[in-house]
Amino acid sequence: MTQSGGAAEQLAETIRGLHMGELERPEAVRPGDVWHVPVGRIVEWEPDEINIRLNELHAESPGLLELDGYRPILTETVVACPSCSNDERLTIRGVWGEPAEYVCPCGHEWPCRARLLQEAIVSTLSQHGPDSIRRSDAS
Ligand SMILES: [Zn+2]
């Protein structure tokens, strides 16, 4: 642990928290349910590690990098299947609070952050209600 990061480190930590932290579980979500949430085409906003580090350096030593100010921190990435490159009609599958998977229309699977499954569940529930998502018991 280093104390030298100061404000920039806190900022980076906050941004990681915003994008990586967990949401509060809605009442309609039972703990063991496996969710299959159709997300179609999805864009992930990834914290950009290089820009986070640049911002830290800028805060520690203003002028050293000759930056005018902070750099944008998030990078937009369209999620695509690593096997067949399909980036449409994707599904996120998993249990609330556990690591999830993307599933493409061909059935390929690859890891998805737990937080994204939670966001997909919450937004689908709020738009379409609790019966709109297919789910199955974990057992
Ligand atoms: Zn695929």
DSSP symbols for 23-49: PPPPTT--TTPEEEEEEES-EEEEE-H
The pLDDT mean for the chain works out to 81
Residue 1, in any domain of the structure: no
Predicted confidence band at 88 (pLDDT cuts at 50, 70, 90)? very high
- Domain carrying residue 86: 6-136
**pTM tops 0.85:** no
For residues 55-64, average pLDDT: 84
- CA-wise closest residue to 136 among 106, 91, 86, 81: 91
- Would you say residue 11 lies in a domain? yes
Encoded amino acid at 100, one letter: A
80 alpha carbon – ligand 1 mean position (Å): 8
Specify if 120 maps to a domain.
Answer: yes
Q: Which amino acid is at 126?
A: S
Arithmetic mean of pLDDT, 43-54:
79
Cα-to-centroid distance, 4 and ligand 1 (Å): 44
The domain tally of the chain equals 1
Q: For residues 95 and 76, which has the higher predicted lDDT (pLDDT)?
A: 95
Distance CA 101, CA 110 (A): 5
